[in-house]
Amino acid sequence: MGGATSLPQVSLTTDHVVLITGGNTGIGYETAKWIAMMGARVIIACRSEERAKKAIEKMQEEFEGEKSKSTPGVCSRETLAVEFMKLDLTSLKSVESFVESFKAKESKLHILLCNAGIAMHEQEYTEDGFEIMFQVNYLGHFLLVTKLLPIMLDSGEDCRVILVSSGAHQAASFDLGKAQGKHHTKESFKRLLYYGNSKLYQIMQMYSLNRRLNTTNVTVNSLHPGIVETEITRSFTDLMLWKVFLGASKLLQVTKTPFEGAKTSINAAVNPEFKDTRDAYYMDMRVKQANRLARDQEKQEALWQYSIDCLKEFLKPEDLNFLNKG
């Protein structure tokens, strides 16, 4: 496949456990497929078992194609080690159930890629009462990371958490009193702003986590995959301005394919050069800098406490003892 040689040439084994949320479509699909083709065992966590199984079948077919072409970096295994586990980030109970299932079957986790997300969704609230982009993009992943960190801390050297954020964080604001957008009507709800906020929070979480993990084997980094043509656009097809923007981006050849968008995720997750790298915001496979608002430590800690308060029903005392270190 064109462009495969630009990926890091890494040989992994099935002892290397990788978890990717939203790994059945778009950027997540390509990320899961290529890391699995490097030899790792990959778990894709998403809502639909049917869609996940179809995605895995497609991965296997494409794997055969890559092997027949002797694509560099592709392992020689007979079949890919990819499996499905159910996770619905719109439900914190689902996140909790997922973690219990994961811990019951897995003793190691080396890479956690928080990839699932929704963009510019209209105003809607989850069963937990949170604005849907806030929960799917940020809070659900916050809970997932927190609950899986003990396993990662016990999984040997060079374990990585990768938060798939967005350049939309540049258009964000920070006001936790309005974080859920309930002061808006459906008509006045600013979809780009709240999407950008959810992506800003991911980057802020990166800094907060690294302060608490800075002497451990676990690193946390974030990234902007670029303007990628994926199913994420389905939530804002009614917004004419964005349809025009995406159309213009295609004409100007600024948009990326899901594979091109996934390259930054793959690189951040497995490139040996990035061992011990923390607080990086990757873009086009290179380390860049997030905006000043994202780097504000006082606001990062305010968000940290707000998030813990949001999750008080799901975080046990031992979770809080760990989280409040530092």
Give tens-digit pLDDT for 36-67: 999 999 999 999 999 999 999 999 999 999 99
Reading phi first (left if > 0) and then psi (alpha if -120 to 50, else beta), residue 226 is in: left
| Domain total in the chain | 1
Q: Does residue 154 lie within any of the structural domains?
A: yes
Q: CA-to-CA distance for 226 and 195, rounded, in angstroms?
A: 15
What is the reported pLDDT for 222? 98
The catalytic residue positions are 195
Q: Does residue 4 lie within any of the structural domains?
A: no
Q: How far, CA to CA in Å, does 182 sit from each of 4, 100, 140, 190, 251?
A: 45, 32, 19, 11, 37
Domain enclosing residue 235, as ranges: 12-323
Q: Does residue 149 lie within any of the structural domains?
A: yes
Find, among 162, 160, 90, the residue nearest to 127 by Cα: 90
What is the reported pLDDT for 320? 76
What is the reported pLDDT for 239? 54
What is the reported pLDDT for 238? 54
| pLDDT digit string, tens, across residues 253-306 | 457 688 999 999 999 999 999 999 999 999 998 898 899 999 999 999 999 999
Q: Does residue 47 lie within any of the structural domains?
A: yes
Does the structure show a pLDDT above 60 at 237?
A: no
Indicate the pTM of the whole model: 0.91
Q: Does residue 1 lie within any of the structural domains?
A: no
What is the reported pLDDT for 5? 64
Q: Does residue 228 lie within any of the structural domains?
A: yes
What is the average pLDDT across 105-114? Answer: 97
Does the structure show a pLDDT above 50 at 9?
A: yes
What is the average pLDDT across 170-194? Answer: 94
Q: Does residue 263 lie within any of the structural domains?
A: yes
What is the average pLDDT across 129-135? Answer: 98
Does the structure show a pLDDT above 90 at 120?
A: no
| Residue appearing with tokens 């967005």 | 166
Confidence of residue 251 (pLDDT cuts 50, 70, 90): very low
What is the reported pLDDT for 319? 83
User: What percent of the chain lies above the pLDDT cut of 90?
Assistant: 80
Q: CA-to-CA distance for 61 and 79, rounded, in angstroms?
A: 10
Dihedrals phi, psi of 179, to nearest 5 degrees: -60, -25
Q: Does residue 52 lie within any of the structural domains?
A: yes
CATH number, domain with residue 280: 3.40.50.720
What string of DSSP letters covers 81-106?
-EEEEE--TT-HHHHHHHHHHHHHH-
What is the reported pLDDT for 253? 45
